[in-house]
Amino acid sequence: MWYNGLLDLSVMQLIAVTLALTHVTIVSVTLYLHRHSAHNSLDLHPALAHFFRFWLWLTTAQNTKEWTAIHRKHHAKCETEDDPHSPVVKGIRKVLFEGAELYAEAATAETLERYGQRTPEDWVERQVYSRYRMLGITLMAAVNLLLFGVNGIWIWAVQMMWIPVWAAGVVNGIGHYVGYRNFECADNARNISPIGLLIGGEELHNNHHTYPNSAKLSRRWYEVDIGWGYIRVFQLFGLAKPKGFRPVAHRVPGKNVVDVETVQAIANNRFDIMRQYRKQVMEPAMRQQKAKLEDAIRPRYRKLKRMLSQETSLIKPKDQVHLELLLETNPVLSQLYQKSHELQALWRRRGVKPQEKLQALLDWCRDAEASGIRHLEEFAAYLKAYSLRPA
Ligand SMILES: [Zn+2]
Ligand SMILES: [Zn+2]
């Protein structure tokens, strides 16, 4: 007869307990390591922060400084040779199946020094968590055996695999490889699924790379970030406080002037502005121009439609040729494409004075209104309604 542990649970109960335990681990990673430690977008009560740190020691042997440093480096060097886990550079198989090994390789003293600021270096970190790194997961195994008997072994195995598979493999691999893009951020980050339950909301990785300092990862009404739900509940009890979760930008109905605040609000909300430019200007224009496209590029209509609004650094050279042919042969699309880049220059060019930016936006709107292209004229009016203050 097997020893079934102090709790003596049925198989279904054991599965439910395992999912609950791994869910606590995922929540610890997304709330504590990711949103609180790496991005500082969330304040946590010291007791709650320490619970998460303790739990991660028990279930992952993960060190806060290492995780934080590697993750910050990932954002700083995204999709380059120095990115610790880019599937674009290292290949999807490597990131998906050897995600945990990549973390170990990346944790050099130099990386920890440069990117590991503001992480715990207290007595318990030095004398317990970092010093006896494997003790936590060993204790967890003992507790599992005691509570669940022999079944505790596979529960422990699932617990040990959960973060390497879901966080290191799926988020870092799939999240930069397949999925949809709400925003044209400068790297290849994608939303794996609009429903962020299983990986605590980390599924919404394109949103996160676009707004890395936001404690909330969902952006569209149909997207769910369960991590944000927990933050709101903890906030009710005074245990958590989000520092920022949306760009400061408001649309004021009837506002029809361009001022310095318009420029700032547009820059704050730039990714959404470019998404609207795609929907309100580029896509309708492309549909209207479809019949006029050269024979050589008409079969590539759908791809070209997407490329017109795509982050330029992500367009492959073989596709670039077709985009150039489209722009050379179609004056309307060429003009709209140029206007899109002029708009992006408002926030991409560094060291430009606010007054010069204001003049650039005034010029942009004046040219758009005189363009004779209805969608572009309407978009100028759309931009003018932006302000830093609500109506
Ligand atoms: Zn990423
Ligand atoms: Zn991040």
* pLDDT tens digits along 81-96: 999 999 989 998 998 8
Pairwise CA distance, residues 47 & 50, whole Å: 5
- Under the banding of pLDDT at 50, 70 and 90, the label for residue 110 is very high
**Ligand 2 centroid to residue 159 C-alpha, Å:** 23
Pairwise CA distance, residues 31 & 334, whole Å: 44
Each residue of 290-339: pLDDT tens digit? 988 888 888 999 999 999 999 988 999 999 999 999 999 999 999 999 99
**Read out DSSP for 261-317?**
HHHHHHHHTHHHHHHHHIIIIIHHHHHHHGGGS-TTTGGGHHHHHHHTTS-GGGS-H
**Ligand 1 centroid to residue 181 C-alpha, Å:** 13
**Ligand 2 centroid to residue 240 C-alpha, Å:** 18
Residue 226 has pLDDT above 60, yes or no: yes
Residue 244 has pLDDT above 80, yes or no: no
* For range 238-250, the mean pLDDT: 86
**Ligand 1 centroid to residue 78 C-alpha, Å:** 7
Pairwise CA distance, residues 170 & 356, whole Å: 44
* For range 346-356, the mean pLDDT: 84
Say which residues have a Cβ less than 8 Å from residue 312's Cβ, sequence separation at least 6. none
* For range 159-170, the mean pLDDT: 91
* For range 38-64, the mean pLDDT: 96
Letter for the amino acid at 274? M
Q: Which ligand is nearest to the CA of 171?
A: 1
**Ligand 1 centroid to residue 74 C-alpha, Å:** 7
Q: Which ligand is nearest to the CA of 191?
A: 1
Q: Which ligand is nearest to the CA of 208?
A: 2
**Ligand 1 centroid to residue 72 C-alpha, Å:** 10
**Ligand 1 centroid to residue 93 C-alpha, Å:** 16
Residue 231 has pLDDT above 60, yes or no: yes
**Ligand 1 centroid to residue 356 C-alpha, Å:** 34
**Ligand 1 centroid to residue 125 C-alpha, Å:** 27
**Ligand 2 centroid to residue 132 C-alpha, Å:** 27
What is residue 1's predicted lDDT score, i.e. its pLDDT?
Answer: 57
**Ligand 2 centroid to residue 82 C-alpha, Å:** 16
Q: Which ligand is nearest to the CA of 67?
A: 2
What is residue 249's predicted lDDT score, i.e. its pLDDT?
Answer: 86
**Ligand 2 centroid to residue 323 C-alpha, Å:** 32
Distances (CA, A) of 154 to 12, 19, 91, 121, 151: 14, 12, 31, 33, 6
Q: Which ligand is nearest to the CA of 83?
A: 1
- Under the banding of pLDDT at 50, 70 and 90, the label for residue 25 is very high
**Ligand 1 centroid to residue 256 C-alpha, Å:** 38
Q: Which ligand is nearest to the CA of 29?
A: 2
Q: Which ligand is nearest to the CA of 99?
A: 1
Token pair belonging to 271: 């990714």
Give the global pTM: 0.81
Q: Residue 333 burial (CB < 10 Å; 0-12/13-18/19+)?
A: buried
> For the chain, what percent of residues have pLDDT higher than 70?
99
Report H helices in 133-240: 135-148, 152-163, 172-173, 205-210, 226-236
Residue 133 has pLDDT above 90, yes or no: yes
Q: How many CA atoms lie within 13 A of 1 on its CB side?
A: 4
Token pair belonging to 126: 């030095």
**Ligand 2 centroid to residue 56 C-alpha, Å:** 18
Say which residues have a Cβ less than 8 Å from residue 194's Cβ, sequence separation at least 6. 180, 203, 204, 220, 222, 223, 224
Q: Which ligand is nearest to the CA of 176?
A: 1
Each residue of 286-302: pLDDT tens digit? 999 998 888 888 899 99
**Ligand 1 centroid to residue 331 C-alpha, Å:** 37
**Ligand 1 centroid to residue 190 C-alpha, Å:** 9
Instruction: Enumerate the β-bridge partners of residue 250.
Output: 387
Residue 167 has pLDDT above 90, yes or no: no
Pairwise CA distance, residues 38 & 34, whole Å: 5
